Each structure stands twice: as C-alpha cells, then as structure tokens.
C-alpha cells in the first residue's frame, strides 16, 4: 500500500521543529529513523498530514559525557551507539541492549530516541532507560521539561508527550567503573521482539551492592521496573544473595499477558529462571575478577 498524502518539512533547528508541531495541532508525525513509522504510514495505520523530519538538526545527534552522566541525542543511529567508545567504557549494558535491537540493517537507520520514545513494551531500549534511571528531555515552543524514564510511559505505545512536544535528549546517570551489567533476552528468533527480557546494572562497593537498577521488557504493558528486587539487593553482599528469592520478587512486579506467542504463566516461569541465572552469572563474573 501507499501512505495517505502528507506534507513534508525538514527543520534545521529544534525551535523550528517545535513550532511546526505546535502549528499542526496533533496532525504531525516526527520522522527520525522511520523503522516503525514508515510501515505504519504505508499501511495507513498512521495518517499525519505533515511529516517532521528531524535528521537535519545537529543537536539531536551524538553521544557525549555530561555532568554526572551520558547524554544521547534522540536522532543518534543505533549503529553509532554500538560503536560508541563512551558507552563501551561507561555504560556497556546500553551497547549490549542495542545489539539486540532488530537486525544489523535496521540498526543502520533506527535511532536510539525513536525506540525509547515509541515505548514498545517488548523492546530493549525503553527498558534500559527505565532500569538505569534515565531522564528524558522534552521541548516545545513553551519551554523544556525533564521526565524520568520510569514516568514517561503510560501504556502500550503511550507516553506523556503532548502533540507539540519533541524529545531532545536522553541522559543516563553515571554508574561507577566496574559495575555489573545484566542483560538477558528470550525471543523466538534473533531480531524479534522479546518474549521475556531483563536489563540492568548493579554497583558494588566494599563487596556490597550500593545501587541496583533493573527492569523487564516483554513482561507487561510498559517497561516494568523490578522495584522489590532492587530494594532486596541493596546492602547485600554478592555471596549472601539468594537468586531464587530475588528472582521471585522481581517477577512479582510484572504484569505479563497471554498473546499469540505464549502465555503469561510461561513468561513468569521463564522470567524467574532468567533472573536467577543472570544473578548467578553476575556473581561468578565478579568473583572471577
């Protein structure tokens, strides 16, 4: 099929983009990588009357160190995130998550901000933002606001963005060197959305966990933060952790569902095992250092 007719603009600045969105009064769609938007347009499941291409705005691209963290421009290609020396050194779990997004070909075009903004419940990057405590910068013609990733998602493909707002940055807080990374995903085929996924990090100081950030994907209507497991882990030494108990508490914070791929009960069972195995492997990796 072909998309419904629309106008196309490629603003050169954030201010111009926000002004266009405001004038459209909800009739605009933002184009970054287009890996989701273009198929929706072709199927006429999305019918904006104006397409706002943000790829010509330099400030929306790039990965930089900032005070107390790392800032990623929303139009940064996923392939650039995989090759980023900054992420490899400071937040390798983001690199691991991006490697599981789609396929090599789609990562050449897909953007970090596009995936995080869309909020596909079974996608890797939205859950990574939630797990690591990222802050999402949102701009409009009225000003700037900051929203935590944990509060950004309202439901499947639903977020707090108003029709005249644009995501202009994602800032991940810094994690100490040597922190443990956790990433596990079960999918039917490489590149498919996850049936069950887990992502996060653990900061260790003097042999004890001082900070934990963990989230699920594919286990509810949005990325699901494993709050109970985080609280149980903080203050614990790795040797004293009971992975099964922590895993059960983590799954208690999810809301899995039945669909054409599998059942909610399967997701709970597999999620518990994935979580416990991930903790065991993290403990073994730390002890081997």
pLDDT value of residue 105: 93
pLDDT value of residue 209: 94
Of 137, 207, 217, nearest in space to 178 by CA: 207
pTM for the model = 0.96
Rounded Cα distance between 53 and 42, Å, is: 17
Q: What is the residue-level pLDDT of the chain in tens, covering all 289 positions?
A: 789 999 999 999 999 999 999 999 999 999 999 999 999 999 999 999 999 999 999 999 999 999 989 999 999 999 999 999 999 999 999 999 999 999 999 999 999 999 999 999 999 999 999 999 999 999 999 999 999 999 999 999 999 999 999 999 999 999 999 899 999 999 999 889 999 999 999 999 988 999 999 999 999 999 999 999 999 999 999 888 999 999 999 999 999 999 999 999 999 999 999 999 999 888 787 766 6
- Map out the domains of the chain with their CATH numbers: 7-53 (3.30.43.10), 60-173 (3.30.465.10), 180-288 (3.30.390.50)
Phi-psi region of 247 (alpha: psi -120 to 50; beta: other; left: phi over 0): alpha
């Amino acid at each position: 099929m072909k998309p419904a007719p629309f106008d196309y603009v490629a603003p050169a600045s954030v201010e111009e983009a926000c002004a266009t969105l405001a004038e459209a009064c909800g009739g605009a769609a933002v184009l970054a990588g287009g890996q989701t938007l273009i198929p929706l347009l072709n199927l006429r499941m999305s019918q904006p009357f104006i397409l706002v291409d943000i790829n010509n705005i330099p400030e929306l691209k790039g990965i930089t160190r900032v005070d107390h963290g790392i800032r990623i421009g929303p139009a940064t290609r996923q392939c650039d995130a995989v090759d980023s020396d900054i992420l490899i050194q400071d937040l390798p779990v983001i690199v691991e998550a991006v490697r599981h997004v789609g396929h090599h070909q789609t990562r050449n075009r897909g953007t970090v901000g596009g995936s995080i903004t869309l909020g596909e419940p079974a996608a890797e990057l939205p859950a990574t933002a939630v797990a690591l405590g990222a802050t999402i910068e949102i701009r409009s013609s009225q000003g700037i606001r900051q929203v935590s990733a944990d509060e950004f998602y309202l439901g499947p493909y639903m977020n707090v963005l108003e029709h005249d707002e644009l995501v202009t940055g994602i800032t991940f807080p810094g994690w100490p060197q040597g922190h443990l990374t956790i990433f596990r995903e079960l999918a039917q085929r490489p590149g498919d959305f996850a049936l069950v996924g887990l992502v996060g990090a653990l900061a260790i100081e003097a042999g004890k966990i001082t900070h934990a950030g963990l989230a699920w994907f594919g286990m509810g209507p949005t990325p699901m933060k494993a709050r109970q497991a985080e609280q149980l882990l903080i203050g614990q030494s790795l040797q004293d952790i009971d992975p099964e108990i922590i895993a059960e508490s983590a799954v208690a914070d999810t809301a899995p569902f039945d669909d054409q791929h599998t059942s909610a009960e399967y997701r709970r069972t597999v999620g518990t095992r994935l979580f416990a195995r991930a903790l065991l492997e993290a403990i073994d990796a730390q002890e081997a250092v």
